[in-house]
Every structure is written in structure tokens, then in C-alpha cells.
Structure 1
Amino acid sequence: MAMTAPAPTGERQDFSAFLRPARDGGRAIELLVKGARCAACLSKIEREMKALPAVAAARLNLTTGKLVVEFEPGAGDPSLVLERLDKLGYPATLYDPGKAAQVRDAEGRRLTFALGVAAFGAGNAMMFSVPIWAGLFGQELGPATRTLMMWLSAVIGAPCAIYAGMPFFESAWRSLRSGRANMDVPISIGVILTLAISFVETVLRGRDAYFDAAVSLLFLLLIGRWLDHRLRASARSAAADLLALQAPSAAVIGEGGVERRTPLGEVAPGDVLIVRPGERIPVDGIVAGGASDLDKSLLTGETAPVRVGAGETCQAGALNLSGVIRLRATARSEDSAVAAIARLVEAGTQSRSRYVRLADKAASLYVPVVHSAAALTFVGGWLLGLGPREALLRAVAVLIITCPCALGLAVPAVQVTASARLFRRRVLVKSGAALERLAEVDHVVFDKTGVLTEGRPQLVGAAPAATAMAAPLARASSHPLAKALAAAHPGPTALAEEVREVAGQGVEGRIGGRIARLGRADFVGVKGASRTETELWFGFEGDTKIRFVFVDRLRADAAATVEALKARGLTVEILSGDVASAVEAAARAVGVTAWRAGLTPTEKSNAVRDVTAAGRKVLMVGDGLNDAAALAGAHAAMAPGTALDASQNAADLVFSGEGLGAVVEAFDVARSARGRALENFGFAALYNLVAAPAAMLGFVNPFVAALAMSGSSLAVTLNALRTGAGRRA
């Protein structure tokens, strides 16, 4: 359902049916906003929404396009929100994830088609421009032939430039309507004036036409716009992947004890659910009956399964390993632990979208200065005796030669080059501004399990004969430690018979006619055993018991990576959800003195936020669901290729392989990229300081201006190719 502007008669549509409960008894509405691309758009929309009567809060996520407007209790008119958004130039509809995806897909197809049209126009218009250039340098080309070539260039180049420039023209118009000027304004004015002066020169049988220059400029800029769209698309899936960990339905026990499958969204607090082994906990709740082991590694990072019984709390997203439990729901699906993490991820992505690139800062000065210079050139030339045509040519030359192509390519060219170099070294860069932020990092936070360690429990110190005895029973269990025990004996092994799994304790079965048990110490028959490490016990009834110890080994280069980061002036910390003894041992082994254990996802995210509030720039390296919110909230984020999909999507960079050296490699390349980007900005500034006065004084005509503009872009690109050159993986 589209949300449209109020009727001219003053009647406003009633959207009260689409309001949902919000904080403190208020109500909220979710809208899909179109056309918001930059931090300036975000700031303006949120500021204008908060200025409306009875609006308590407004939050826009640039990545998803979703605007959440919260109203005070018993007040607020959603139609006013629509009306204000329409006046600002940002049309809105009621937020529907499916509709939002369709809009984004349509935008992607439009950019792709515009890019193809620009490529076609640039190549074919150039085909007719080359003979004109040859004629200017003394080759035989008659006036009639030159005019014909100009018309052919116009027939191909002008329509392509108009179509390919529509994304920039529309953005510039919205910007001007809202009383500001973005980078698309000078691009649009430059392209339109270039086409206009080219048509005038063609009609008057002049010597110069620049249809090819206009469409070529748009082709280069559309490449950057398309890449930005793709990067946003990859970032949008982080919160969606987290919510996908929730089961689509739940088994609810109704009246008379009848079990029925109920959509997750319809589960209410107080409902009693049945959760069987192999299923994930659908909503947060309290165990009302039964006992089981839960795999909470995705939520907390703790490697060992956690036993739960009657009266204990379970969080959505945990995997039920062994027993059937009855769960009394305490929250709806949208209020579950997984949903809370998803909101933290979205908030982290939102804060990252506020990062203002250096090019945007330069644009705030660039736009008025260049336009003023072009206007001054036209007026001054006319007053000094030049004809209107010659004065306009000089003004157009100023706009062309100072076109922000080099400025616009200064950062993207470096990012593309650095990303390509890191990709060859098995590091995928997913965010356009990730390298900028990574270069600013001064504090590194590592998760333990799966990052500093391999994330795979391994059996240590066990005799082959012992593993051979326990393997038949271990192969009959789905417990992670039992699987590791079975893997330690790769030879052929028959499964135990009459296997029975005892929830929260272990498994029992017959091996060679004898009863055997594998699991906790007291279950196997060992009394008073102290449990200091991850372990399993095995034994035959009435026989000696065997203890199996498991460890999660550190990555081979973990200590070297920490040392290399310290050598570069960075401080290192470990934040983990695992038990204190395991975290302390890992920290001591890699040389880290600052560490914290037993942290929940929210506590990890808060810890990163606290360090950031203290003025530090944090790089978070994590792999689990419990790391996703911290990854999203950090200044920069990295995840291994073995990480959960949600964590990979929340991270800026993903690295593959068994080592951590990619973290150091990415940091080095990021710092190199920052240096090249600053050099490009310096060159762009120097170029404009020299080129603009030359065009204003008439030393440069539009043809030479187009060559100079292209040359500046080429120089910026060639300098970008030096990023990370000579560094070893």
C-alpha cells in the first residue's frame, strides 16, 4: 500500500491501523523513504521529523531506507510525516520488506542500465570525435565533414548523456529543493551546459563539440554509484540473517494438551511450547518441564554446552541438543534476544552511515566556489568586451575543467585498488568506507573462540586404545564433544547398541554386550571430580573410568599477529563469552593483558561502545552471533570466512585461511590507501587552483578543458594503483 500525499482539500488519510506500540506507551510507524543517500539527507530528515508536533523520536537507516517515527502517548498524526517528507523531496510508503526489496532491485537495475547506456554512448560518440580532433591538428577534414561528425556525435552522445545523467539530475533537483547543494549539483550543471554549448557550436558550425566528454564523465561516475549500491545491498542482510536464526514456527501446547504449529509472530508471553532435540529455541522463555543441554555458542561464544532444567531461562536462537523441554514463553519474537541483537546490528550500521567522507566535506566548499567562479567569468568577460558566446565558452570551460571527476575518484579509485590487492590475498572488503576507518584504528578487540582459536574442540592426551573403546558410543551422540571424540578415532567402528540419551548427562549403550556410559563425571560414576576444563568421562559398568580432555587450539600465528599489531602502535584486548579459565589461558598464550570473559552480546557491544566513547577507534574481530552487535558498533570490523553468515555481513572485511595475518595485512594496506587518498585530494586541489584561473583568463578552451579534466582523473587513478604495492602477504 503506497502512502500518498494528503488531498488538496485538506483531508488527511488515516494511518492509525498501521501504528504499532512503542516505548513508554507511545506509538510508532515505519516508512520506506526513497532518495536518501548521504549523511546530509539522514540529518535533514531526522531533524525535520523531530520538529513535527508530538514526535518523540525519528530514526532513518540509510542502508535499508527504513524510517521509524515514534509519537508521544495518545498523540501524533502520521499524515503530517508524509506531508513533510513530500515537501523535502523524499517520497515515502508504508514499510514493507518485500516492497523495499523491490524498490532496491529496481534502483539496481536502473543504475545497471544507465551504466550500460553511458558505456555505449561514450564509445560510439568518441568514434565521431576522433576525426574532429584529427582535423584540429592539421589533418584534412573539411568544414562540412566536421559538422557532419559533430551531428553524428550529438545524435548518439546527447540522448545517452540525458538518460545516463537522470540519477544525478534527480538527486541534484531534490538537493536544491531542500535548500542545499550536493556533489550532484555541479555534475548536473556541468553536463547540461556542456551539452547546450555543444549543440550551439554544432548549429553555428563551430569547431568544438563535447558530447563524448559529457557521456564519458557520466560513465565514470556511474561506476562509483553502482558500486556503492552493491555495497549497501550486502550490508542490508546482516540483521536479516540474524533473524533467520529464529524458527519460522513453534509447537504450542493448547487446551487439552493438543500440540499445534503456530507462526512465530503469533506466539505470546505465557504460551507453553515444546522444543525437541535438534530444534532452536523459538522465543525467550523459562523451562517449565524437562531438562536438556543447549548449544549457546552462537549467542555467548562459550564452547561447552549448557545444561538447563525447570525454572531456568532459555534464549531464542540456542540449539536444543539432547532432551525434550517444555518452555513457557516470556517474550514475543520481536522482543527476543536474537531480535535485540539484530536491532543492535542495525543501529551499528546506522551509525556507520553517518561517517562523512572527506569528499563530502570538500563538496561543501567546492560547489559554491566553482559556481561563483563560472558566473564571475561569464559576467566579467562580457563586461570586459567579450561577446556573449565567448564569455559563455569561458564559463563552460571553467565548469568542465573543474568538474569534480578527479575529486570524486580520489577515494573510490584507491578503495577499488586496495580492495583488489586484498582480495588477491584472500581478504574481501565489503564496505566502501571500511578501509578509511580501518586506517584510523588504534585499538583491536579479539573474540576468543573461532578467532584467536580454531573454534574446533580437539581431544588431547588420550591413548588410542581409550578412544577406540569410547568411539562406538561417541558416534551415537550429537554432542559436540562426542563428535570430537569420534573424530579422534577415524578407523571403522561399529555403533553401540541400545543407545539411550539422558538429557543433560550423557549417553548410555551396550558395547560388546557390556553397558557403557559417556558424559558427565557423576553420570558415569565418578564422584567428587573437579571440572576445570572441557571434558567427557567414559566407562563400563563396574570398571575403571577414563577422562577425555578437549581443548580449542590457538591459531598458529595468533601470538605473532598480536605482536605485529602492538609493534604498529595498537593496543589489543580480548572480549569473550567463554569461561574465565579458557579466556585467561588464551590471553596469556598470545601476550594480551586486557581481557574479559563471560560477556553477553549486549555486554560486548557496550564494551566496544565504552571504549569508543573514551576516544579510541576500535577494530572488532569476531565470528559468532554474540559478536554481531559489537562488529556493527565498532569503528571497523573483520570476521573470518568460517564465521556465521550474520557476523560476516555485519563485518566490513572477511578473511579466509587458517591464520590471523590477514588482520595485519589489511591494516597495512588501509594505511597505505589513506596516504594515497590524501595525495589524490592534494593533487585535485592543486589541479583546480591552477586550472580554474587558466580557464577564467581564456587560456583554456572547452576542448582543452575536457582533456585536462580527463587527464586529472587519469593521474588520480594511476596514483591509486600504487596502493599497497610492494607489500607481501
Structure 2
Amino acid sequence: MLGRIAPAPAASLSAAACAHCGAPLAAGQARFCCAGCEGAHALVAGLGLDAFYRRRDAAASCGALRPAAEPPATDFAPLARAGRDGSHSLELMVAGLTCGACVWLVEQALAAEPEVLRARASLSARRLTVAWRGPAERANDYAALLARLGFRVAPWSPACLRATEDEEGRALVRALGVAAFGAMNVMLVSVAVWVGWDMGEATRAAMHWLAALIGLPVIAVAGLPFYRSAAAALRAGRANMDLAISIGVLATAAMSLSEAIRNGPYTWFDGATALLALLLAGRVLDRAARRKARQAVAELLALQEGGVTLLGEDGAARTVPVERVRPGDRLLVASGERLRLDGTLEGGAEEALLDTSAITGESLPRRFAPGAALPAGAVNMGAPFRLRVTAAAADGSLAAMARLLERAEQAKSRFVSVADRAARLYVPVALGVALGTFLGWWGGVGVPWQEALVPAVAALIITCPCALAIAVPAVQVVAVGALFRRGILVASPTALERLATADHAVLDKTGTLTEGRPVLLPDPARDPASLRAAAALAHASRHPLARALVQACPDAPAAEGVREIPGAGLARGAERLGSAAFCGVAGAPEEGMALYYRAGSDAPAVAFRFADRVREDAPAAVAALHRLGLSTELLSGDGGKAVARVARACGVGAWTAHATPQAKAARIEALRAEGRRPLMVGDGINDAAALALAHVSASPGDGTDLAQTASDLVLRGEGLAALPAAIATARRAQRIARQNIAFSLAYNVVAVPAAVAGLATPLIAAAVMASSSLAVILNALRAGREPPPWTR
């Protein structure tokens, strides 16, 4: 039997909520809404995991965990993968993982089982990997355990990641729609009162109650994301910005309702609804930005989706899903097919020619000898060959890169913004001032509570963190807009803060410092007729060097009767164009950026040498990075000679060649462990893990979709030259943001005493608060100024 049952501890939720799932209790229910929740609560206690409830209460977005009445109907045993040591492993899609507390509970509950070797859950992917010693049938027991705790499980696949529900995101969009609709309509009703038109008391009362009829439901519904976050913060014994926003909105609504009841001169339903609409718009944009890393994982795993050609023991070929392939199986890889699994080239076969640009960043295809390891994600550009699989899809190199991306997303989500750090001190002080004002007038002076509420709300409005709440966002909006006009897309809400503190730039070579496509080097001794004849043959191939040869002589007509020998070259009669060995050139230097042409068996061979041209703006951009105080280094999957040449041309002192995606990610982690804040710039799939792990990252506009979705900035306009300007803009934006925060705090020192003394009505308080917000916005406009000329 799974788990150990013990008496349940006291519930951490209120008496009106279920102690396990948090659902409201009906009449006659003491602690649990159903027998399933009571059993789940006892199971958590029996496993010694009572801390889950404290962690759950401290989380801002933990959902309800309603235990399933029946165990899962799916038989998970056939899906378990057998290990070499008799162990088994299983990957599940877990619905209900909404916060770190849920992840902790799932991992700890499974780890408590004596046979479990490891259990790892990913919050972003909703994926659970569990390994155990014992029979495959234990998979059903573990799935049943999760169902008893309130999690729904299903077999995991890459398609599951793209279909993961984002209930929090949809709730924010719904709340934004409600708030925007309500704010516009309340404003229409309130404008007549605010402009001071001559109206009788009955008309004014009707306007107040119409505004209340629209505003109160909007405030109740649209403010739920803030109210839930504030309640969670209170349960955790801390204050956050949402707590101040919630109290400010609710107090404004209460004050407005009080004024409507006594037909006072003004109500403030319009301000409360408008504030909710603006803040929710920011939350929706933030949520959209945090989805980008999950999209990057999905796109990476999509490289493995589909079928492969499995060879049986009798040599018969059949197409099977990639998930059914196990280590040791033999696959047939057709010409032009992408390798979906890691493996080795079977002995006895000819060399394999693979395009590994998506994996290693190398600009030219590589040759692999029999027995060599072949990476998943590469494309076969030569003849068909047989592959011996060395790792299943879930254990291969692409899956490892996906796990790096997931880990990086969770690490970046812990970055605390400047505004949140300021709110830790500011919010308790603001709330204390408002409460003290109310108690002082009500208990100390002895005025009725309604009259005491006026200066208290005025103090709360004046100290309302509106200026603080927009201090950083306003600067970011201006800075992001200025960067957008320069062709720089900012994809992360905290990208500018991290970019401003970067101190070391790690640069990819191919496609970042270079153009990513080979060009023919000039040779005065070469016969132009040979170039024309070679280009005529090259029309028949899609090889990058052949394409570069055609581009160098575009007027050469395409030759007929040309046949391509995969991995060797092109032939037409006695003519040859290809590698040195194919053209019979003995003693040729080993260089991947060269083609040879021979018009006949007795004709001399003509060499065509190529280079990946350095971007025109790369040396100036690297020099500007140095002037900004950033050290630089070059990481590339290409060979040493090519990497050294580009490093010298661009002024980069340190470089590393033959860097695999894992090596790039490891280098970024090593830099961060040293206390550095690396800026990673790359354009390929092989750079995605390093881009996600970096302190901040950027990708050129012509980079792969995966690299761009893993990056914080996309340099679409001026290319690499825009990066130093972006850093200068980010640093200026952070200085202005801190100025705004300091101003919003200083303004309160002046305005709060007037509100506490009752000298400022809520109307005056609103005007003062608006003026402070206006000053913050005007200062924020300075963030859009052009950066210094030497950064461009």
C-alpha cells in the first residue's frame, strides 16, 4: 500500500474552507468538503509532508486539488521504459501543478516510496519523470498516488507541452476585459459629476448609484487576481505590491459607496476600475512573456516528433513512432531525413555527411566515419545509412537541451524586479499610515467612522503605490518603445534590468559575428573559365559551398547531365567538382571550406576556397561592448582555425572552438558560479540552452525561431551594432527608474502629513497623486533619448 497514514494535522486554511483543496465548505461540513479530500489530507500527513499546506498558502497562484474518486483508467505499465539495471522510468503529464508547493508535494510524495530512485517535476512543462526499482506495473501505483492527492495524470508527449492549459493566463485576460469594459462605462457616467455641470442632488445621486451599479461588480471580479495574491501574501506573513493595490482599490470602492449613500459630492469608482484595467494589462503582457521559454521547449522537442524507419532482425523496414524506439534498435536514415534520435553510424557503411548546423552551429556539413556518434537533430545530406540508436527520445541530447531550457525558465522567474524590492519596505509603511489616520480620527478625535474614513482614504490615495507601480513600468515602456524603433524587440519584462547589469558578453560565431553563409575568396591566379565551368556544375547541388560558387558566378548556365554522388561531389562525364579525394587531389590540406574542380582526368585541379564573412558591424560592436565595460569571449562549434580568424578580426581575446550545446550551457553556468552576469548572443538551436541560462540573452533577427524564443532581446534592425546601444539605453532606464522610485517616496513625505491632518480631501489627494504620476511619466520619457554615438 502506498504511503503511510497518520492523524491529520490542523488545517492551515480558514475554518470555512476545505483543509485540503481550499473549496468552500457547505453547511454541516467540519473540515473537508468530501471524503476524498479527507483521505488526501491524511495521506499528506502520513507521509510527513505537512509543510505542503504552509507552502501552498504562501503561493500566489496555487489551484484547488480535488482528489479523483477513482484511480486513473489508463494502464501506464506498458509506457514504462526499462533500464539496464532492472529499473524503470515513466514520464507523465500532471494537471494541477500550479505553484512550487505542488511541485514539492509531488516530488516528496513519490520520493517517500522506498522503490523510487528519483522524481522530478517541471512546473513550466507540467511534466513528471519518475524512476524506480521494480516491475513496470508499479507505474500504475504511482499514478494512483498522485490521483489521491488531487493531481490528474496522463502519458506525456511533446504535444502535451503545446496543449498545456494556462488557466491563470486566461483568467487574467478575462479580468482585463471586465475591467476595461467597466472603466469605460463608469467614466462615461462619472464625467458629468467631475466636470461640475449644474445638476440637482437627485441627478447627482442617480449618477453615483449608476456608477456604483457598474463599478462594484467590476471591482469585485476584475480585482480577483490581486486579491488572491494579497491574501496569499498575508497568509505567508509578508506584504507585496498586490496587497497595497487591493486595499487601495477596495478602500476607494468602500469610500465611494459611503459617499453614494450620503449623496456626497464625488465618488471614485472610475479611478478604481481604471487602475485595475491598467495593472491587469501589465500582468497579461508579463504572462505572455513568461510563456516564451515553454514555447522554446516545445519547438525543440518538435524536432523529434514523427515516425522513423525501424529495421527488424530480418532486415524488414517498418515505420514506427519515435517513442517506441529503444537503445540498440537499428534505423534506416534516408537522404534528406532529419535524425530524430542519437546513435552511431553502423560499421561497414560509408562515411555519413550530416548538416549539424542546428545542433553545433557549424556552417558546413560534417563527415562522420563508421562507428562515430551521430547527434539527433542533424540532417542527412548524403546517401542513406543505418543508425544504431544509443538513447531513447526522452534520454537523448535534444531532451537534455529541453530540460536545460525548463530549468533556465524557472531560474529567471525568480528574478526580483526593482519595484518589488521597493514594495517590501514601502507597502507596510503606506498601509500603516492609512490605518493610523483612521484610528486617530475615529478613536482619538472621536469623529464618526464615516468622517474618519475620509482622511484615511485620502492618506491611502496619496500613499497609494500608483506612482511607485508605474515608476518602473513607465520607464520600461518608453525604453522598450525606443529600442523597438531601432529594431530591437524586448521579449522579457525584466530584460532591461538584467541587461543593464551584464558585465561579460559571450558571443557565438556563425550567424552572430559572421553572416552564416560561405563566400568565395578571390584568387587572381584562378582562370575565370574554370570558375564558370565549376559554377555550371554547382547548379545541380544544394550544398552550401555549391550555392556560394553559383552566387560568385551567377551568369554561368546550369549544366545538364550532372549527377551528385552523396558525400563526394558532382560529376558529368570526366568533369568533377567536390572534395579533394573525389577530384584525385593528393596531399591537399584538410580544410572544410574548399572545393576542387577538374575538367578531365588529365587536367589540373583548380581549388576554390571559401570563408564565412565577418559581419561588417561586428568589430565596431565588440569595441563598443569593451567601452561599456564588458569583457568578451567567443564560443563556437566550428574548428579552431576558423574561430581564431574571426576572433582576431573582431577583437575578441578569448575563444573556444568545437563547443557543443552542452559545453556552451556549461560555460554560462560556470560564469554565473564565478559571480559574473553573462550576456549570451547566439542565433542557432545549438545556442538555445545557453541563451536561456544566461543572465540576459539576445539573438539576431535572422536567427532560428528557437533561439529567438529563448532570448530576452531580438536584434531585428541594425543587427549586432544595436546591442551596445541597447545596453546604454537599459542602463539609463534603470537610473531613471530608481529616480522615479526615490521621487515617489519623497513625495509621500511631503503629502502624507497634509492628508493625515485632514487638510486634503480625497479629491485633492487624487489630484496630488495624479500629479506625482505625471511627474514620474515625464521623467520616464527621458529613457527614450538616443544613446551616445559611440554605442551605435
Q: TM exceeds 0.5?
A: yes
Secondary structure in 2 matching 1:428: strand
More moved, 330-339 vs 199-208: 199-208
Secondary structure of 1:616 counterpart: coil
- SS of 2:214's partner is helix
Shift of 1:703: 2.5
For residue 558 of structure 2, the aligned residue among 486, 494, 516 is: 494
SS state of the match for residue 211, structure 2?
Answer: helix
CA deviation after TM superposition for structure 1 residue 181, in Å: 4.1
Give a deviation string over 1:141-169, Cα, whole Å, max 9, x none: 33222212211221222222223222222
Alpha-carbon shift at residue 80 of structure 1 (Å) = 7.3
Query: Cα gap change, 1:614/1:116 in structure 2, threshold over 3 Å: closer, same or farther?
Result: same
Cα distance in 1, alignment partners of residues 636 and 379 from structure 2? 19
Over 3 Å counting, the alpha-carbon distance change for 1:196 and 1:678 in structure 2 is: same
Is residue 2:571 matched to residue 1:508?
yes
Aligned counterpart, 1:535: 594
- Partner residue of 1:481? 545
User: Is residue 2:269 matched to residue 1:211?
Assistant: yes
Matches within 5 A, 1:483-632: 483-497=547-561, 499-501=563-565, 503-510=566-573, 515-532=574-591, 534-539=593-598, 540-632=600-692
Q: What's the secondary structure of 1:378's corresponding residue?
A: helix
Flag the 1:210–1:174 CA change in 2: closer, same or farther, 3 A: same
CA 1:437–1:53: 2 relative to 1, 3 Å: same
Partner of 1:254: 312
Counterpart contact for 1:672–1:724, Cα < 8 Å: no
Structure 2 equivalent of residue 7 of structure 1: 36
Residue deviations 1:8-63, cap 9 Å, x none? 45277656966967999586765344654xxxxx4x5566666658358776756x
Structure 2 counterpart of 1:637: 697
The reply to whether residue 278 of structure 1 matches residue 336 of structure 2 is yes
Aligned partners of 2:380, 2:247: CA distance in 1, in Å?
62
Secondary structure of the structure 2 residue equivalent to 1:10: helix
Q: Give the letter aligned to residue 582 of structure 1.
A: A
1:525 Cα shift? 0.8
Shift, 1:313, TM fit: 1.1
1:458·1:484 contact (CA, 8 Å) conserved in 2?
Answer: yes
Q: Which residue of 2 aligns with 1:39?
A: none
Structure-1 residue corresponding to 2:13: none
The equivalent residue for 2:190 is: 129
> Which residue matches 1:114?
175
Q: Secondary structure at the match of 1:322?
A: coil
Q: What is the CA-CA distance between 1:222 and the residue it aligns to?
A: 1.1
Structure 1 contact 66–95 (Cα < 8 Å) conserved: no
Q: Which amino acid aligns with 2:39?
A: G
Q: For residue 451 of structure 1, report the CA deviation from its aligned partner.
A: 0.7
Cα distance between partner residues in 2 of 1:563 and 1:347: 33
**Pairing 1:648–2:708 present:** yes
Q: Which has the higher contact order (CA 8 A, sep 6+)?
A: 1
Structure 1 position 388, deviation (Å): 1.3
Identity %, equivalent residues? 45
Residue identity matched to 1:221 = L
Amino acid aligned to 2:784: G
Counterpart residue number, 1:427: 488
Q: Distance in 1 between matches of 2:272 and 2:363?
A: 59
Question: Which residue in 1 is equivalent to 2:60?
Answer: none
Residues in 1 aligned to 2:307 and 2:110: alpha-carbon distance in whole angstroms: 40
Decide whether the 8 Å contact of 1:157 with 1:211 is kept in 2: yes
Output the CA distance in 2 between the equivalents of 1:183 and 1:544: 77
1:299–1:9 CA distance, 2 compared to 1 (3 A): closer
Partner of 2:296: 238
The alignment partner of 1:458 has SS state of: strand
Cα separation, partners in 2 of 1:564 and 1:228, compared to 1, 3 Å: same
Rounded to whole Å, the distance in 1 between the matches of 2:439 and 2:717 is 63
Check the 8 A contact 2:517/2:544 in 1, yes or no: no
Q: How does 1:127-276 map to 2 (within 5 A)?
A: 127-135=188-196, 140-177=198-235, 180-276=238-334
Distance 1:133 1:498, change over 3 A: closer
Match of residue 530 from structure 2: 466
Contact 1:401 1:706 in 2 (8 A): yes
Question: 1:30·1:69 contact (CA, 8 Å) conserved in 2?
Answer: no
CA distance in 1, matches of 2:97, 2:192: 44
Q: Is the 8 A contact 1:33 1:93 kept in 2?
A: no
CA distance, structure 2, for counterparts of residue 175 and residue 61 of structure 1? 24
Q: Structure 1: which amino acid aligns with 2:561? A: E
Aligned residue runs from structure 1 range 63-142, under 5 A: 64=124, 66=126, 68=128, 104=165, 107-135=168-196, 140-142=198-200
Report the counterpart of residue 52 of structure 2 in structure 1. Answer: none
CA distance in 2, matches of 1:269, 1:231: 38
The whole-number CA distance in structure 2 between the counterparts of 1:557 and 1:213 is 49
**Amino acid aligned to 1:31:** V
Q: Which moved more, 1:384-393 or 1:624-633?
A: 384-393
Q: CA deviation at 1:408?
A: 2.0
Comparing 399-408 with 616-625, which one deviates more in the overlay?
399-408
Are 1:572 and 1:594, in contact at CA under 8 Å, matched by a contact in 2? yes
Match of 2:783?
A: 723
Aligned to 1:711: 771
Secondary structure of residue in 1 paired with 2:606: strand
Q: Does 1:392 align with 2:421?
A: no
User: In structure 2, how many angstroms separate the alpha carbons of the residues matched to 1:582 and 1:492?
Assistant: 29
Following the alignment from structure 2 to structure 1, what is the Cα–Cα distance between the partners of residues 756 and 76?
A: 57
In structure 1, how many angstroms separate the alpha carbons of the residues matched to 2:402 and 2:425? 38
Q: TM-score, normalised by structure 2?
A: 0.83
- Please tell me whether the aligned partners of residues 106 and 121 of structure 2 are also in contact (alpha carbons under 8 angstroms): no
CA-to-partner distance for each residue in 1:449-501, whole Å, 9 max, x for gaps? 11111111011125432221112321222222112112222115133415141
State which drifts further: 187-196 or 307-316: 187-196
Across the two proteins, how many residue pairs are aligned to each other? 707
Query: 2:336 touches 2:381 (CA, 8 Å); kept in 1?
Result: yes
Contact 2:311 2:331 in 1 (8 A): yes
Name the CA distance, whole Å, in 1 between partners of 2:769 and 2:88.
55
Are the equivalent residues in 1 in contact too, given 2:293–2:406 (CA < 8 A)? Answer: no
TM-aligned CA deviation for residue 706 of structure 1: 2.8
SS of equivalent residue, structure 2 residue 270: helix
Give the SS at the match of 1:416: helix
Please give the alpha-carbon distance, in whole angstroms, between the structure 2 residues aligned to 1:380 and 1:26: 67
Question: Are 2:503 and 1:442 equivalent residues in the alignment?
Answer: yes
8 Å CA contact 2:628–2:724 kept in 1: the answer is: no
CA contact (8 A) 1:264 1:333 kept: yes
Deviation digits for residues 168-190 of structure 1 (CA, Å, limit 9, x no counterpart): 22333444455544322222222
Kindly provide the CA deviation profile for residues 622-648 of structure 1, in whole angstroms up to 9, marking residues without a partner as x: 111221111111111011111111111
**2:367 corresponds to:** 307
* Structure 1 stretch displaced more, 630-639 or 45-54: 45-54
- Structure 1 residues 57, 252: CA separation in 2 closer, same or farther (over 3 Å shift)? closer
Query: Matched residues in 2 for 1:93 and 1:718: separation?
Result: 52
Secondary structure of the 2:755 match is helix
